[in-house]
A and B are shown apart, each in its own frame.
Chain A
């Protein structure tokens, strides 16, 4: 369906892994993303570290493009939509509002992450459906931190997984990745101003690298 994306089947459901570091679940029309970290640059500036603006707007534009391309009717935020309360400046909130107005029909599930500590009055203006801990849909349990569910397959974020490869004459490179274990799938961070944690490949786990405009399974 999508050029550059990869596909994986989990508990009988097909999931598309998109090069924009998002996931699409066609059967449910749902687009899960993780770790956007809105207002991170603003947080740095508020703490007197000069980081320019522009990331969040660029990321929101990418998100709009993915929503349009997939035709998703709901967005599932697997936590850390907001970076920090101090970064929820007027500019940041306005940018999010503007983006929200462009997708007024979209259902947005906001599962809280450890960074989502924005004041309540700010949050209510998003008109997101908020879930404090987890959202169960079909065979999946969507939550922020990776974990094992008794019956459902967990989809989570929080880790910002990256995979490192190189050597043998190829320069060492770190790439964001999707990671699937037998009972939990972890999405790469969607926000572009986010770091990552280097993970190692283990037997029986599947790793999909986001390499430029492509998602590619790592087989070794």
Chain B
């Protein structure tokens, strides 16, 4: 196909190829590869696809299209097939995901299409067949869609490893990534191309439509809640906004919030029944598909959703986006805003609904960052051993591997370029004869060397089981929620169900439900009537405010300190900030404000580093620990996105502690280990690692007796490894992940470095300040730090409960 035909196809559809698309085609024709970044719905797909279509399809698999979402595969298939059909090209385009029927998958393996759309998991699965080489050796182009979503995750690492393998089979293949705009595009390109990236280019896509970020301002600032539970008092205004729009997406930060807002909107707009829906990751696939289909068909007025709709194809009908609560990050808000306004001439608009006053400052700060082009980065992971061991077994299943050549190949990826010989040898030992402690793993034999010197699985059951468990996504231990009549509603955490009292109703999938029976990981429910039900809490839904946004918030506060209120939100929040100035102080950008308050329940100290929830959650116990070394104190701590609260029955000698190095970055690692229950956190973190490295199984085919014999929780395995093979690198990985991912220890360190040179301002409060209230309200969820042993903890809790009962 010539460029002229191509242009003709665009013209026929009333389109015109964009300059950036033509640029990509030129690069591709010249054998270059790269990364295309732009907002969604701006033609990235055709930029890559039309480049490939300029050549004839040949007789082998030529283009591989990796998409992060199964749901996206169907839409991509449609998009890729459209020009093929219109131009009557020979190209055969198919999709292959977990949803593809077995019969079709088998047919595909015998006779691959010219272009295949797949997910990282399905690709790894293909690599585990011994004829994989023949399937992929004709590859010319691999497109990795939504690369920014995979970057920084173990799934991204899985993709990197697969790409390295494909490159070794098809050396002339080029890789193109499609990405939203992020702060570290150069790095994103490097990770995508690995050692193979000398000819990589970054192509900036068409500028998206105009973006508008605004807020719903409370009509009476006086009546504005300090820490409204959900921003629910803005419900009437939200409804008014929704009624003006034809079709809206209402984004929330957590699934619980989505359930709660759906209930409120349903009550407020009964006339929208059937045109309003709920969409989040715990709902069943069928429910989500139904919602997405109806959004596409333009039949929805309003969908309440979580990050589950951050990605994916665009819904042309959506003309309005609302964001409930803090936007948390600049890129995230931009992405969400971009989900609206795909009609010609319209703009993408996101309206933020603040849950408390200071979120207005965040919105203002986010808007300014967007206009300056400041966006968050996605940090790539550092050589996770669990993903490597899984890949090794995959390679062994897929025809076996020679040690030296696989090591070389793995080191061409960005993630494993610094992999040491020791780490490699450990991983190889782990998948062959057990851990490095040779004597500790008698009779273990998962892989053996065949006569050609290749590592292969030592029996067929290993291959079968490995294929069932390929992937890096860990499903939580969740219980299926199913009607007695049979329909499955979705999944809910076991923990939440266990907390329900008998006969207590709960809200799920937008319905009020009652549990009839829990058996075999299924909660059988029936719909019930009544007004109130418990809203489930899902774990892992805490998202911290981004580092970029928190710096922007601090500088907005600094402006306020200087009496500058720029932006409509800042003017709205002015009375509250002026109250803060009157009762306490508005912290300057180089200051740390520490407020002290004595209440009936004890001595409160508030600190405001503005570094986000995770850093504060690490910092709070660290400070409590360092304080308690100075003076034995029993303390409760609370952390929010803005600050930390310490509470004790006795006065807290905060000034003295600051003078003697409370914020010192020295001994940070040791002090963190001593202050938070790092061991318990690592034990919990091990769940995912155990799953990925094949210590525990998601599913096991056939014999249930075997499955029973292999039953052990990841926590139990962790305990055994720590005790009997402490050098196990997976144990080390769990500890590192807790430090880096959970406690963000590098961000914690830089926070301490900043605080230790900050001007510290102490204020004795007479009553709670505006800044302190959201933390006070949140402190119900606080956790105690103390050095008492288990036995005392049991006794203390008993005493407390007895007291409460009497």
CB-based contact B791/A86 at 8 Å:
no
Q: Considering the chains assembled together, what is the distance between the CA atoms of A196 and B719 in angstroms?
A: 14
Q: Which of B695-725 contact A (CB under 8 A)?
A: 695, 706, 709-713, 716-717, 719-721, 723-725
CB-based contact A216/B794 at 8 Å:
yes
CB-based contact A48/B782 at 8 Å:
no
CB-based contact B440/A44 at 8 Å:
no
CB-based contact B794/A51 at 8 Å:
no
* Residues of A with C-beta under 8 A to B782: 169
In the assembled complex, A143 has its CB within 8 A of some CB on chain B = no
Q: What is the 8 Å Cβ interface bit string for chain B, positions 427-445, against chain A (1 contact, 0 not)?
A: 0001100110101111111
Least distance between A24 CB and chain B CB atoms (Å): 21
Least distance between A118 CB and chain B CB atoms (Å): 13
Least distance between A137 CB and chain B CB atoms (Å): 30
Nearest CB to that of A47 among chain B residues? B710
In the assembled complex, B801 has its CB within 8 A of some CB on chain A = yes
Least distance between A150 CB and chain B CB atoms (Å): 29
CB-based contact B442/A214 at 8 Å:
no
Extra A-B contacts (14), CB below 8 Å, given A168-B800, A211-B791 = A41-B720, A42-B442, A44-B712, A45-B443, A45-B444, A48-B459, A49-B710, A51-B717, A52-B440, A53-B442, A58-B723, A170-B797, A192-B719, A195-B713
* Residues of B with C-beta under 8 A to A209: 794
* Residues of A with C-beta under 8 A to B795: 216
* Residues of A with C-beta under 8 A to B716: 193-195
* Residues of B with C-beta under 8 A to A126: none
Q: Considering the chains assembled together, what is the distance between the CA atoms of A85 and B396 in angstroms?
A: 29
* B442 partner, pick from A43, A91, A218, beta carbons under 8 A: A91
The chain B residues found within 8 Å of chain A, CB to CB, are 430-431, 434-435, 437, 439-446, 458-459, 461-462, 465, 498, 636, 677, 680, 694-695, 706, 709-713, 716-717, 719-721, 723-725, 728, 782-784, 789-791, 793-798, 800-802, 805
Q: What is the 8 Å Cβ interface bit string for chain A, positions 157-200, against chain B (1 contact, 0 not)?
A: 00000000110111101010000000000000000111100100
CB-based contact A50/B435 at 8 Å:
yes
- With contacts A49-B694, A193-B712 taken as known, whether A219 is within 8 angstroms of B440 at the C-beta atoms is no
Nearest CB to that of A42 among chain B residues? B443
Q: Considering the chains assembled together, what is the distance between the CA atoms of A171 and B781 in angstroms?
A: 11
* A220 partner, pick from B711, B796, B801, beta carbons under 8 A: B801
Q: Would you mind naming 19 contact pairs between A and B with Cβ atoms under 8 Å apart? A: A42-B442, A47-B709, A48-B444, A48-B445, A48-B459, A48-B461, A49-B695, A50-B434, A52-B434, A52-B724, A53-B724, A55-B724, A83-B709, A169-B782, A173-B790, A194-B716, A195-B711, A220-B798, A220-B805
In the assembled complex, A212 has its CB within 8 A of some CB on chain B = yes
* Residues of B with C-beta under 8 A to A42: 442-443
* Residues of B with C-beta under 8 A to A203: none
Nearest CB to that of A55 among chain B residues? B720
Least distance between A56 CB and chain B CB atoms (Å): 10
Q: Considering the chains assembled together, what is the distance between the CA atoms of A50 and B446 in angstroms?
A: 8
Top 4 closest A-B pairs, CB basis? A54-B724, A169-B784, A52-B440, A52-B725
In the assembled complex, A89 has its CB within 8 A of some CB on chain B = yes
* Residues of A with C-beta under 8 A to B440: 52-54
Least distance between A66 CB and chain B CB atoms (Å): 19
In the assembled complex, A6 has its CB within 8 A of some CB on chain B = no
Q: Considering the chains assembled together, what is the distance between the CA atoms of A212 and B709 in angstroms?
A: 28
Nearest CB to that of A166 among chain B residues? B797
- With contacts A170-B796, A171-B783, A212-B790 taken as known, whether A50 is within 8 angstroms of B712 at the C-beta atoms is no
Q: Considering the chains assembled together, what is the distance between the CA atoms of A194 and B716 in angstroms?
A: 7
* Residues of B with C-beta under 8 A to A195: 711-713, 716
Q: Considering the chains assembled together, what is the distance between the CA atoms of A86 and B708 in angstroms?
A: 13
Nearest CB to that of B465 among chain A residues? A48
Q: Considering the chains assembled together, what is the distance between the CA atoms of A103 and B721 in angstroms?
A: 30
Q: Which of A4-29 contact B (CB under 8 A)?
A: none
Q: Considering the chains assembled together, what is the distance between the CA atoms of A49 and B437 in angstroms?
A: 15
CB-based contact B798/A47 at 8 Å:
no
* Residues of A with C-beta under 8 A to B797: 165-166, 168, 170
Q: Considering the chains assembled together, what is the distance between the CA atoms of A218 and B793 in angstroms?
A: 12
* Residues of A with C-beta under 8 A to B459: 48
- With contacts A48-B461, A83-B709 taken as known, whether A216 is within 8 angstroms of B791 at the C-beta atoms is yes
Nearest CB to that of A165 among chain B residues? B797
In the assembled complex, A84 has its CB within 8 A of some CB on chain B = yes
Q: Considering the chains assembled together, what is the distance between the CA atoms of A166 and B716 in angstroms?
A: 20
Q: Considering the chains assembled together, what is the distance between the CA atoms of A84 and B709 in angstroms?
A: 7
Nearest CB to that of A83 among chain B residues? B709
* Residues of B with C-beta under 8 A to A53: 439-442, 724
In the assembled complex, A65 has its CB within 8 A of some CB on chain B = no
Q: Considering the chains assembled together, what is the distance between the CA atoms of A211 and B794 in angstroms?
A: 9
* Residues of B with C-beta under 8 A to A219: 798, 802
* Residues of B with C-beta under 8 A to A148: none
In the assembled complex, A62 has its CB within 8 A of some CB on chain B = no
* Residues of B with C-beta under 8 A to A106: none
Least distance between B678 CB and chain A CB atoms (Å): 12
Q: Considering the chains assembled together, what is the distance between the CA atoms of A211 and B801 in angstroms?
A: 19
Least distance between A76 CB and chain B CB atoms (Å): 24
Least distance between B760 CB and chain A CB atoms (Å): 28
Least distance between B147 CB and chain A CB atoms (Å): 33
CB-based contact A89/B791 at 8 Å:
no
Q: Considering the chains assembled together, what is the distance between the CA atoms of A46 and B796 in angstroms?
A: 45
CB-based contact A171/B677 at 8 Å:
yes
* Residues of B with C-beta under 8 A to A198: 498
* Residues of A with C-beta under 8 A to B443: 42, 45-46, 89, 91
* A45 partner, pick from B442, B706, B791, B794, beta carbons under 8 A: B442
* Residues of A with C-beta under 8 A to B677: 171
Q: Considering the chains assembled together, what is the distance between the CA atoms of A51 and B636 in angstroms?
A: 39
CB-based contact A44/B710 at 8 Å:
yes
* Residues of A with C-beta under 8 A to B439: 53
Q: Considering the chains assembled together, what is the distance between the CA atoms of A193 and B441 in angstroms?
A: 15
CB-based contact A86/B709 at 8 Å:
yes
- With contacts A51-B720, A220-B801 taken as known, whether A212 is within 8 angstroms of B791 at the C-beta atoms is yes
Nearest CB to that of A115 among chain B residues? B709
Q: Considering the chains assembled together, what is the distance between the CA atoms of A216 and B723 in angstroms?
A: 26
* Residues of B with C-beta under 8 A to A43: 709-710
* Residues of B with C-beta under 8 A to A86: 709
Least distance between A171 CB and chain B CB atoms (Å): 6
CB-based contact A169/B461 at 8 Å:
no
* Residues of A with C-beta under 8 A to B790: 173, 175, 211-212
- With contacts A47-B709, A49-B694, A212-B791 taken as known, whether A54 is within 8 angstroms of B441 at the C-beta atoms is no
* Residues of A with C-beta under 8 A to B789: 212
Q: Which of A77-122 contact B (CB under 8 A)?
A: 83-84, 86-87, 89, 91
